Amino acid sequence: MAYPLSTALGRPARRRMPLLRLLQRIMILRHERRALARLDDHLLADIGLTPDAARIESERPLWDAPAHWHHPDRAIR
């Protein structure tokens, strides 16, 4: 049986996220950040965000995703 090189070197093998799942996550993140940018100050206050915090989050690049999105076992289903 062949083992991944990283396992042979003593490190656990990392599973890669399938491309379609990655694209799905990017599209969801884009949609959520655009929706956040459209919220008015009253609605932002309801969810505990300041207008500046919402603006900063909505302007983050797509590759700057939350850390929990990088783990394949915590995928959006």
Residue 16 clears pLDDT 80, i.e. is over it: no
Strands (E), the chain: none
Average pLDDT, the chain: 79
pTM > 0.85: yes or no: no
Rg (CA), the chain: 18
CB 18, CB 77: distance < 8 Å: no
Domain ranges of the chain: 19-62
